[in-house]
Amino acid sequence: MDKKQTIPVAQPALIGREKDLVLDCLETNWISSNGRYIKLFEDRFAEYIGFDHAVSCSNGTTALHLALLALDISVGDEVIVPTLTFVATANAVAYTGAAPVFVDSEPDTWNLDPGKIENSITPKTKAIVVVHLYGHPCDMDDILKIARKHKLHVVEDAAEAIGSAYKGRMCGSIGDISTFSFYGNKTITTGEGGMVLVNNDRLAGRVRILKGQGMNPDRRYWFDTLGYNYRMTNVQAAIGYGQMEKIDLLVEKRRLVASWYNSLLESVPGVTLPVEKSYARSSYWMYSILIEEEFGMTRDRLMRFLYRKGIETRPFFYPMHTMPVYRDCDAKHLSTAVAVAEKGINLPTYYDLRRGQVEYITDCIKKARDEKGFDP
Ligand SMILES: *Cc1c(COP(=O)(O)O)cnc(C)c1O
Protein backbone atom coordinates (compact mmCIF):
# COMPACT_ATOMS: atom_id res chain seq x y z
CA MET A 1 0.00 0.00 0.00
CA ASP A 2 1.29 3.45 -0.74
CA LYS A 3 1.30 6.25 1.77
CA LYS A 4 -1.92 7.79 0.47
CA GLN A 5 -3.90 4.69 1.34
CA THR A 6 -2.65 4.40 4.90
CA ILE A 7 -5.49 4.01 7.39
CA PRO A 8 -4.71 6.44 10.23
CA VAL A 9 -5.40 5.54 13.83
CA ALA A 10 -7.56 8.66 14.25
CA GLN A 11 -8.78 11.67 12.33
CA PRO A 12 -11.23 14.51 13.00
CA ALA A 13 -14.73 14.60 11.49
CA LEU A 14 -15.70 18.18 10.69
CA ILE A 15 -19.18 17.25 9.49
CA GLY A 16 -21.19 20.17 10.87
CA ARG A 17 -21.06 23.92 10.22
CA GLU A 18 -17.50 24.30 11.56
CA LYS A 19 -16.23 26.07 8.43
CA ASP A 20 -19.10 28.58 8.31
CA LEU A 21 -18.77 29.35 12.01
CA VAL A 22 -15.01 29.89 11.75
CA LEU A 23 -15.59 32.19 8.76
CA ASP A 24 -18.07 34.11 10.88
CA CYS A 25 -15.30 34.71 13.46
CA LEU A 26 -12.97 35.97 10.73
CA GLU A 27 -15.57 38.16 9.08
CA THR A 28 -16.69 39.74 12.36
CA ASN A 29 -13.11 40.16 13.65
CA TRP A 30 -13.78 38.12 16.84
CA ILE A 31 -10.80 35.81 16.73
CA SER A 32 -9.38 36.00 20.26
CA SER A 33 -10.75 34.75 23.55
CA ASN A 34 -13.86 36.94 23.64
CA GLY A 35 -16.72 36.40 21.25
CA ARG A 36 -20.09 34.73 21.12
CA TYR A 37 -18.96 31.16 20.38
CA ILE A 38 -17.18 30.80 23.72
CA LYS A 39 -20.42 31.00 25.68
CA LEU A 40 -22.43 29.12 23.05
CA PHE A 41 -19.97 26.21 23.12
CA GLU A 42 -19.68 26.22 26.93
CA ASP A 43 -23.46 26.26 27.46
CA ARG A 44 -24.07 23.58 24.86
CA PHE A 45 -21.38 21.33 26.33
CA ALA A 46 -22.63 21.83 29.91
CA GLU A 47 -26.13 20.88 28.77
CA TYR A 48 -24.83 17.78 26.96
CA ILE A 49 -22.89 16.53 29.98
CA GLY A 50 -25.46 17.62 32.54
CA PHE A 51 -23.49 19.90 34.84
CA ASP A 52 -24.40 23.58 35.49
CA HIS A 53 -21.07 25.10 34.49
CA ALA A 54 -18.63 24.47 31.67
CA VAL A 55 -15.52 26.63 31.50
CA SER A 56 -13.51 26.47 28.29
CA CYS A 57 -9.71 26.48 28.33
CA SER A 58 -6.70 25.94 26.13
CA ASN A 59 -6.42 22.13 26.30
CA GLY A 60 -7.21 19.06 28.36
CA THR A 61 -4.03 19.34 30.39
CA THR A 62 -4.74 22.91 31.47
CA ALA A 63 -8.32 21.82 32.23
CA LEU A 64 -6.93 19.26 34.69
CA HIS A 65 -4.53 21.80 36.18
CA LEU A 66 -7.40 24.29 36.68
CA ALA A 67 -9.63 21.64 38.27
CA LEU A 68 -6.92 20.64 40.75
CA LEU A 69 -6.08 24.28 41.54
CA ALA A 70 -9.76 25.07 42.13
CA LEU A 71 -9.81 22.26 44.69
CA ASP A 72 -6.76 23.82 46.41
CA ILE A 73 -4.49 20.88 45.69
CA SER A 74 -0.90 21.99 46.32
CA VAL A 75 2.53 21.20 47.71
CA GLY A 76 2.48 18.49 50.36
CA ASP A 77 -0.73 16.89 49.08
CA GLU A 78 -1.06 13.49 47.47
CA VAL A 79 -3.41 12.67 44.62
CA ILE A 80 -4.40 9.16 43.57
CA VAL A 81 -3.94 8.65 39.82
CA PRO A 82 -4.23 5.48 37.73
CA THR A 83 -0.80 4.44 36.51
CA LEU A 84 -2.27 3.46 33.13
CA THR A 85 -3.16 6.83 31.62
CA PHE A 86 -1.89 9.51 29.30
CA VAL A 87 0.92 11.52 30.89
CA ALA A 88 -1.24 14.67 31.14
CA THR A 89 -3.16 13.25 34.12
CA ALA A 90 0.00 12.86 36.19
CA ASN A 91 1.63 16.03 34.87
CA ALA A 92 -1.29 18.21 35.96
CA VAL A 93 -0.95 16.85 39.50
CA ALA A 94 2.79 17.55 39.42
CA TYR A 95 2.21 21.15 38.22
CA THR A 96 0.34 21.87 41.48
CA GLY A 97 3.30 20.65 43.53
CA ALA A 98 1.30 17.69 44.84
CA ALA A 99 2.59 14.15 44.46
CA PRO A 100 0.79 11.72 42.16
CA VAL A 101 0.34 8.31 43.80
CA PHE A 102 -0.10 5.67 41.16
CA VAL A 103 -2.65 2.88 41.50
CA ASP A 104 -3.10 -0.32 39.51
CA SER A 105 -5.74 -1.18 36.89
CA GLU A 106 -8.65 -3.59 36.71
CA PRO A 107 -7.77 -6.53 34.46
CA ASP A 108 -10.90 -6.24 32.28
CA THR A 109 -11.74 -2.52 31.93
CA TRP A 110 -8.08 -1.42 32.35
CA ASN A 111 -9.39 1.43 34.53
CA LEU A 112 -8.34 2.43 38.05
CA ASP A 113 -9.04 -0.58 40.29
CA PRO A 114 -11.35 0.57 43.14
CA GLY A 115 -10.20 -2.40 45.24
CA LYS A 116 -6.64 -1.11 45.22
CA ILE A 117 -7.24 2.54 46.08
CA GLU A 118 -7.52 2.37 49.87
CA ASN A 119 -4.04 0.85 50.27
CA SER A 120 -2.59 4.03 48.79
CA ILE A 121 -4.53 6.54 50.88
CA THR A 122 -2.51 8.43 53.51
CA PRO A 123 -3.30 11.45 55.70
CA LYS A 124 -1.89 13.59 52.87
CA THR A 125 -4.30 12.28 50.21
CA LYS A 126 -6.65 15.00 48.96
CA ALA A 127 -8.20 13.67 45.76
CA ILE A 128 -8.68 10.80 43.37
CA VAL A 129 -8.36 11.50 39.64
CA VAL A 130 -10.20 8.86 37.65
CA VAL A 131 -9.61 8.33 33.92
CA HIS A 132 -12.27 6.65 31.79
CA LEU A 133 -9.60 4.93 29.72
CA TYR A 134 -10.18 4.64 25.97
CA GLY A 135 -13.83 5.60 26.56
CA HIS A 136 -14.91 2.94 29.06
CA PRO A 137 -16.36 4.43 32.27
CA CYS A 138 -14.73 3.71 35.63
CA ASP A 139 -16.75 1.93 38.30
CA MET A 140 -17.80 5.23 39.84
CA ASP A 141 -20.06 4.02 42.68
CA ASP A 142 -17.22 2.07 44.29
CA ILE A 143 -14.82 4.98 43.82
CA LEU A 144 -17.30 7.55 45.21
CA LYS A 145 -17.89 5.36 48.26
CA ILE A 146 -14.16 5.31 49.04
CA ALA A 147 -13.87 9.05 48.40
CA ARG A 148 -16.76 9.81 50.76
CA LYS A 149 -15.36 7.58 53.47
CA HIS A 150 -11.96 9.32 53.37
CA LYS A 151 -13.30 12.81 52.49
CA LEU A 152 -11.47 13.02 49.16
CA HIS A 153 -12.39 15.02 46.07
CA VAL A 154 -13.09 13.08 42.89
CA VAL A 155 -11.85 14.58 39.61
CA GLU A 156 -12.97 12.89 36.41
CA ASP A 157 -10.43 13.10 33.60
CA ALA A 158 -13.03 12.48 30.91
CA ALA A 159 -10.77 13.44 27.99
CA GLU A 160 -11.35 10.03 26.41
CA ALA A 161 -14.99 9.68 27.44
CA ILE A 162 -16.99 12.29 25.52
CA GLY A 163 -20.37 10.57 25.14
CA SER A 164 -19.65 7.71 27.56
CA ALA A 165 -22.12 6.99 30.35
CA TYR A 166 -22.09 5.20 33.71
CA LYS A 167 -25.44 3.80 34.86
CA GLY A 168 -27.18 6.25 32.55
CA ARG A 169 -25.23 9.28 33.73
CA MET A 170 -22.79 11.00 31.42
CA CYS A 171 -19.12 10.62 32.27
CA GLY A 172 -17.97 13.99 33.50
CA SER A 173 -21.13 14.57 35.55
CA ILE A 174 -20.43 12.10 38.36
CA GLY A 175 -17.43 13.39 40.33
CA ASP A 176 -16.92 16.79 41.98
CA ILE A 177 -15.33 18.32 38.91
CA SER A 178 -14.43 16.97 35.50
CA THR A 179 -12.26 17.78 32.53
CA PHE A 180 -12.35 17.19 28.79
CA SER A 181 -9.90 17.54 25.91
CA PHE A 182 -10.69 18.59 22.34
CA TYR A 183 -7.34 17.63 20.82
CA GLY A 184 -7.48 16.54 17.17
CA ASN A 185 -7.82 12.84 17.93
CA LYS A 186 -10.56 13.19 20.56
CA THR A 187 -14.25 12.42 19.90
CA ILE A 188 -14.94 16.09 19.22
CA THR A 189 -12.14 18.51 18.49
CA THR A 190 -11.35 22.21 18.47
CA GLY A 191 -7.80 21.62 17.21
CA GLU A 192 -6.47 22.19 20.71
CA GLY A 193 -8.91 22.87 23.52
CA GLY A 194 -10.31 21.78 26.83
CA MET A 195 -13.23 22.22 29.24
CA VAL A 196 -13.75 22.07 32.98
CA LEU A 197 -17.22 21.01 34.16
CA VAL A 198 -18.58 21.55 37.61
CA ASN A 199 -21.93 21.81 39.36
CA ASN A 200 -20.75 24.23 42.02
CA ASP A 201 -20.94 28.03 41.50
CA ARG A 202 -17.97 28.79 43.73
CA LEU A 203 -15.66 26.29 42.01
CA ALA A 204 -16.78 27.45 38.55
CA GLY A 205 -15.94 31.03 39.52
CA ARG A 206 -12.52 29.93 40.79
CA VAL A 207 -11.77 28.15 37.50
CA ARG A 208 -12.79 31.24 35.49
CA ILE A 209 -10.53 33.50 37.55
CA LEU A 210 -7.59 31.07 37.40
CA LYS A 211 -7.73 30.70 33.62
CA GLY A 212 -7.68 34.50 33.15
CA GLN A 213 -4.46 35.42 34.98
CA GLY A 214 -6.20 35.46 38.36
CA MET A 215 -7.83 38.81 37.67
CA ASN A 216 -10.53 39.94 40.08
CA PRO A 217 -13.81 39.73 38.11
CA ASP A 218 -15.02 43.02 39.66
CA ARG A 219 -11.82 45.01 39.32
CA ARG A 220 -9.81 45.09 36.11
CA TYR A 221 -6.04 44.58 36.47
CA TRP A 222 -6.42 43.64 40.12
CA PHE A 223 -4.88 40.29 40.98
CA ASP A 224 -5.65 38.49 44.23
CA THR A 225 -4.29 35.09 43.26
CA LEU A 226 -1.68 33.57 40.99
CA GLY A 227 -3.47 32.79 37.73
CA TYR A 228 -2.66 31.59 34.25
CA ASN A 229 -3.54 32.40 30.67
CA TYR A 230 -5.32 29.16 29.79
CA ARG A 231 -8.03 30.67 27.57
CA MET A 232 -9.64 29.16 24.49
CA THR A 233 -10.15 31.36 21.42
CA ASN A 234 -13.48 32.18 19.80
CA VAL A 235 -12.23 30.43 16.64
CA GLN A 236 -11.66 27.20 18.56
CA ALA A 237 -15.02 27.55 20.29
CA ALA A 238 -16.70 28.05 16.90
CA ILE A 239 -15.27 24.71 15.74
CA GLY A 240 -16.40 23.08 18.98
CA TYR A 241 -19.89 24.53 18.71
CA GLY A 242 -20.08 23.16 15.16
CA GLN A 243 -18.96 19.75 16.42
CA MET A 244 -21.70 19.71 19.07
CA GLU A 245 -24.36 19.75 16.36
CA LYS A 246 -23.27 16.24 15.34
CA ILE A 247 -22.17 14.86 18.69
CA ASP A 248 -24.72 12.04 18.82
CA LEU A 249 -23.78 10.89 15.33
CA LEU A 250 -20.07 11.04 16.15
CA VAL A 251 -20.51 8.87 19.26
CA GLU A 252 -22.91 6.41 17.63
CA LYS A 253 -20.52 5.84 14.73
CA ARG A 254 -17.71 4.95 17.12
CA ARG A 255 -19.99 2.43 18.79
CA LEU A 256 -20.86 0.99 15.38
CA VAL A 257 -17.17 0.70 14.44
CA ALA A 258 -16.56 -1.10 17.74
CA SER A 259 -19.39 -3.53 17.03
CA TRP A 260 -17.83 -4.33 13.64
CA TYR A 261 -14.45 -5.01 15.24
CA ASN A 262 -16.06 -7.12 17.98
CA SER A 263 -17.91 -9.39 15.57
CA LEU A 264 -14.94 -9.75 13.22
CA LEU A 265 -12.39 -10.47 15.97
CA GLU A 266 -14.38 -12.45 18.50
CA SER A 267 -13.25 -15.86 17.29
CA VAL A 268 -9.57 -15.02 16.84
CA PRO A 269 -7.55 -16.98 19.43
CA GLY A 270 -5.14 -14.86 21.43
CA VAL A 271 -7.07 -11.63 20.93
CA THR A 272 -8.82 -10.24 24.03
CA LEU A 273 -11.64 -7.91 23.11
CA PRO A 274 -12.58 -4.80 25.11
CA VAL A 275 -15.38 -5.32 27.64
CA GLU A 276 -18.43 -3.16 28.01
CA LYS A 277 -19.66 -3.68 31.56
CA SER A 278 -23.38 -3.84 32.30
CA TYR A 279 -23.08 -0.43 34.00
CA ALA A 280 -21.32 1.13 31.05
CA ARG A 281 -21.93 2.77 27.74
CA SER A 282 -18.51 3.16 26.15
CA SER A 283 -17.88 5.80 23.52
CA TYR A 284 -14.92 3.74 22.23
CA TRP A 285 -12.56 6.67 21.90
CA MET A 286 -10.03 4.05 20.80
CA TYR A 287 -11.09 0.52 19.99
CA SER A 288 -8.48 -1.50 21.88
CA ILE A 289 -7.52 -5.16 22.13
CA LEU A 290 -4.93 -7.20 24.00
CA ILE A 291 -2.57 -9.49 22.10
CA GLU A 292 -2.09 -12.54 24.32
CA GLU A 293 0.75 -15.05 24.18
CA GLU A 294 -1.57 -17.52 22.46
CA PHE A 295 -1.69 -15.19 19.43
CA GLY A 296 1.83 -16.38 18.57
CA MET A 297 3.20 -12.96 17.70
CA THR A 298 4.07 -10.13 20.07
CA ARG A 299 2.06 -6.94 20.13
CA ASP A 300 5.00 -4.93 18.77
CA ARG A 301 5.54 -7.37 15.94
CA LEU A 302 1.85 -7.24 15.05
CA MET A 303 2.03 -3.44 14.98
CA ARG A 304 4.95 -3.59 12.52
CA PHE A 305 3.08 -6.14 10.42
CA LEU A 306 -0.01 -3.92 10.26
CA TYR A 307 2.09 -0.84 9.49
CA ARG A 308 3.48 -2.60 6.44
CA LYS A 309 -0.10 -3.27 5.38
CA GLY A 310 -0.86 0.45 5.57
CA ILE A 311 -2.59 0.34 8.97
CA GLU A 312 -1.55 2.75 11.68
CA THR A 313 -1.97 1.58 15.29
CA ARG A 314 -0.86 2.72 18.74
CA PRO A 315 0.53 0.77 21.67
CA PHE A 316 -1.18 1.30 25.05
CA PHE A 317 0.28 4.02 27.24
CA TYR A 318 3.29 2.99 29.33
CA PRO A 319 2.35 2.89 33.02
CA MET A 320 3.31 6.24 34.53
CA HIS A 321 5.31 4.72 37.41
CA THR A 322 7.74 3.29 34.82
CA MET A 323 8.44 6.68 33.24
CA PRO A 324 11.80 8.29 34.08
CA VAL A 325 9.97 11.50 35.04
CA TYR A 326 7.86 9.65 37.69
CA ARG A 327 10.27 6.93 38.73
CA ASP A 328 10.73 8.33 42.21
CA CYS A 329 7.01 8.27 42.99
CA ASP A 330 5.48 5.84 45.38
CA ALA A 331 4.09 2.88 43.45
CA LYS A 332 3.43 -0.65 44.62
CA HIS A 333 1.73 -3.73 43.21
CA LEU A 334 1.00 -2.34 39.77
CA SER A 335 1.42 -5.63 37.95
CA THR A 336 -1.95 -5.61 36.18
CA ALA A 337 -1.28 -2.27 34.51
CA VAL A 338 2.20 -3.42 33.50
CA ALA A 339 0.82 -6.61 31.91
CA VAL A 340 -2.05 -4.84 30.14
CA ALA A 341 0.21 -2.05 28.84
CA GLU A 342 2.53 -4.57 27.19
CA LYS A 343 -0.27 -6.38 25.39
CA GLY A 344 -2.58 -3.51 24.46
CA ILE A 345 -3.01 -2.02 21.02
CA ASN A 346 -5.34 0.72 19.77
CA LEU A 347 -6.82 0.08 16.33
CA PRO A 348 -8.05 2.81 13.95
CA THR A 349 -11.22 4.35 15.38
CA TYR A 350 -12.81 7.38 13.74
CA TYR A 351 -16.01 8.62 12.17
CA ASP A 352 -15.13 8.11 8.49
CA LEU A 353 -13.89 4.54 8.92
CA ARG A 354 -15.88 2.23 6.63
CA ARG A 355 -16.99 -1.34 7.24
CA GLY A 356 -14.72 -2.50 4.38
CA GLN A 357 -11.69 -0.94 6.06
CA VAL A 358 -12.48 -2.64 9.37
CA GLU A 359 -12.76 -5.93 7.46
CA TYR A 360 -9.36 -5.26 5.88
CA ILE A 361 -7.80 -4.45 9.26
CA THR A 362 -9.23 -7.56 10.95
CA ASP A 363 -8.26 -9.73 7.95
CA CYS A 364 -4.69 -8.46 8.32
CA ILE A 365 -4.73 -9.33 12.04
CA LYS A 366 -5.89 -12.87 11.19
CA LYS A 367 -3.24 -13.11 8.48
CA ALA A 368 -0.55 -12.01 10.93
CA ARG A 369 -1.62 -14.83 13.24
CA ASP A 370 -1.56 -17.42 10.45
CA GLU A 371 1.86 -16.27 9.26
CA LYS A 372 3.34 -16.09 12.76
CA GLY A 373 7.06 -16.20 12.84
CA PHE A 374 7.22 -14.54 9.46
CA ASP A 375 8.69 -11.12 10.11
CA PRO A 376 10.72 -9.91 7.12
C1 LIG B 1 -5.95 13.69 25.65
C2 LIG B 1 -5.89 13.50 27.10
C3 LIG B 1 -5.63 14.55 28.01
C4 LIG B 1 -5.27 15.95 27.69
O5 LIG B 1 -5.19 16.34 26.46
P6 LIG B 1 -4.62 17.65 25.79
O7 LIG B 1 -3.77 17.12 24.70
O8 LIG B 1 -3.87 18.46 26.78
O9 LIG B 1 -5.84 18.35 25.30
C10 LIG B 1 -5.68 14.28 29.36
N11 LIG B 1 -5.96 13.06 29.82
C12 LIG B 1 -6.19 12.02 29.01
C13 LIG B 1 -6.51 10.71 29.60
C14 LIG B 1 -6.14 12.20 27.62
O15 LIG B 1 -6.36 11.14 26.82
User: 109-156 pLDDT, tens per residue?
Assistant: 999 999 999 999 999 999 999 999 999 999 999 999 999 999 999 999
Domain co-membership, 203 together with 286: no
Question: Does 254 lie in the same domain as 133?
Answer: no
Does residue 125 lie within any of the structural domains?
A: yes
Mean pLDDT of 351-363: 98
CA distance 169 to 130: 16
Domain enclosing residue 304, as ranges: 3-10+247-371
**pLDDT computed for residue 374 by the predictor:** 54
Which band of pLDDT confidence, cut at 50, 70 and 90, is reported for residue 1? very low
Of 211, 226, 244, the position where a domain reaches its end is 244
Q: What is the pLDDT of residue 5?
A: 78
Same domain, 229 and 279: no
User: Which protein residue has the closest C-alpha to ligand 1 atom 4?
Assistant: 60
**69-99 pLDDT, tens digit each:** 999 999 999 999 999 999 999 999 999 999 9
- pLDDT for the residue 210: 98
pLDDT at position 375 is 53
Q: Give the model's pLDDT for residue 331.
A: 61
In a shared domain, residues 153 and 215: yes
Q: Which of 206, 223, 244 is the last residue of a domain?
A: 244
CATH of the domain at 119: 3.40.640.10
Of 155, 150, 236, nearest in space to 193 by CA = 236
Q: Please tell me the predicted confidence (pLDDT) of residue 327.
A: 82
Q: What are phi and psi of 46, to 5 degrees?
A: -60, -45
C-alpha to C-alpha distance for 77 and 91, rounded to whole angstroms:
14
> What's the mean pLDDT in 29-48?
97
- 308 shares a domain with 238: no
Q: Which of 244, 263, 291 is the last residue of a domain?
A: 244
Of 122, 121, 140, 141, residue with least CA distance to 131: 140
Instruction: Tell which residue, 343, 345, 344, 335, has the closest CA to residue 83.
Output: 335
Instruction: Determine the residue of 59, 86, 349 to mutate for testing ligand 1's pocket, defined as the one with the most ligand atoms within 8 A of the Cβ atom.
Output: 86
Q: Is the CB of 90 under 6 A from ligand 1?
A: no
Across 325-329, average pLDDT = 81
- State which ligand 1 atom lies nearest to the alpha carbon of 194: 9
> Residues 216, 283: one domain?
no
* Per-residue pLDDT at 235: 98
Predicted confidence at residue 333, as pLDDT, reads: 67
Q: What gap in Å lies between CA 6 and CA 216, rounded to an integer?
A: 51
Q: Does 153 share its domain with 209? A: yes
Span from the CA of 316 to the centroid of ligand 1 (angstroms): 14
Within 13 Å and on the Cβ side, how many CA atoms surround 180?
32
Q: Distance from the CA of 138 to the center of ligand 1, in angstroms?
A: 17
Task: Categorize the per-residue pLDDT at 163 as very low, low, confident or very high, splitting at 50, 70 and 90.
Answer: very high
Instruction: Respond yes or no: is residue 186 known to be catalytic.
Output: yes
Contact by Cβ (8 Å): 129, 117: no
Domain count, the chain: 2
